[in-house]
Amino acid sequence: MLGHSTHRCLGRTGQRNQAFGTVSTSSRRVKCSRSARRAGRTSTVAVRAGPVEIDEDDLIQGKDRHKWYEAKFCAEDQPEWNIGRFVTSRQVSPEFRAVTVECEASRERIPLRAAFKTAGQRASLRINQGVERICTVASAPFPESINYEPLFKVRGDLFAHEIKAVREPISVKTELTVLVTRKEAPEVYNAGPDDVVEVGPFVGTGMDLRSSPLMAMYACPTVVMFVSGRGIATCMSLLESTSDVPNLSLEFRKDVRVYYKAANAASLAFKDRFEEWEKLGPIKVLTTTTSFQDAFDDDDSLTYDPETTGAVIIVGGDEEAEREALEVCRYGREAEGRRRAKGREKKKIPQRRRRRR
């Protein structure tokens, strides 16, 4: 005979030996107390994920407990300006002077938003707590290898011989070279060993190489660079960038040309570095004191395909020089097209006419 049976269970206090579907008096009291606690004081706080409602009467949540779980970036609580040290300065042309200072580069002390990450960024410098000067950087972006130990520590990792203990942030010092003029940054231009140097956040995002077609080194094996004025500093920063930061991957290119224009031969800056650049890959530096067009026309050794050739224009904000470089790019594309069309005409075989009988 099939009958109905009542299952019993062992649950919370006050629910022992009770059937499913029934609620004890003590359980009702627990639920009432919880609902009363929910009706207490509440407040809404804003976190990275959005607004969150906090029950202030719930002691389990604790005061500001939501901040325990917020994602925090390293060095966000560090000062924006750090004390540097003057290293050296030298005159690289009648107009420009290269000033080298020692600065802080540790990721435990410098947040990522203020760090030197790619060529084209500018440095913020102050001399003797004076006016902030924005200077063109000639140094290559700091390689990630110098931050191996600070980044290891930021992740909370420990070496075999270490114990969990509070440690001071690791300091990493490196040299930074900027290109300045007497008119635009007189304090930096005339800086010396007795001056107090401060280095602030780096300005701008620099050259966006990650989203550029130039990063496809096999699809764009030939690169031509048009450089003038203070742009030679950014060119130097780009050419000397290491493989662990955005760079041109020079060793994988077929041909790289640097057309450097200056007012005269004495105005050519960093002439002593040209040979070093040519050792980095298939680089050839061609200088001119007239125009980019003359330098391009005089370069008989360059063979290129417009479809696989990239152009980099670094003229330091000179609009006239930029238009001139763009004109050379258009001229080069049209000239190559005319040359190919002429070659096809030469190869065309004339058809014979049939004689009528």
List every span in the chain annotated with CATH 3.40.50.80: 213-340
In this predicted model, what pLDDT tens digit does every residue of 94-143 receive, in sequence order?
A: 999 999 999 999 999 999 999 999 999 999 999 999 999 999 999 999 99
What is the average pLDDT across 23-33?
44
Under DSSP, the state recorded for 328 is H
Asked whether the predicted pLDDT for residue 239 surpasses 90, the reply is yes
**pTM beyond 0.85:** no
Asked whether the predicted pLDDT for residue 9 surpasses 60, the reply is no
Position 222 confidence tier, pLDDT thresholds 50, 70, 90? very high
In this predicted model, what pLDDT tens digit does every residue of 264-288 receive, in sequence order?
A: 999 999 999 999 999 999 999 999 9
Q: For residues 239 and 249, give the distance between their C-alpha atoms in angstroms, rounded to a whole number.
A: 9
List every span in the chain annotated with CATH 2.40.30: 82-199
User: Is domain 213-340 given the CATH code 3.40.50.80 in the classification?
Assistant: yes
What is the average pLDDT across 218-234?
95
Q: For residues 143 and 140, give the distance between their C-alpha atoms in angstroms, rounded to a whole number.
A: 8
In this predicted model, what pLDDT tens digit does every residue of 324-348 receive, in sequence order?
A: 999 999 988 787 656 655 555 544 4
Q: For residues 90 and 237, give the distance between their C-alpha atoms in angstroms, rounded to a whole number.
A: 17
Domain 82-199: assigned CATH number: 2.40.30
DSSP string, 289-317: SS-HHHHHHH-TT----GGGEEEEEE-TT
The CA-atom distances, in angstroms, between 289 and each of 31, 143, 156 are 87, 34, 55
What is the average pLDDT across 43-62?
60
Q: For residues 261 and 288, give the distance between their C-alpha atoms in angstroms, rounded to a whole number.
A: 5
Regarding predicted confidence, which is higher, 37 or 126? 126
pLDDT score recorded for residue 319: 94
| Main-chain phi, psi angles of 73, to 5 degrees | -85, 145
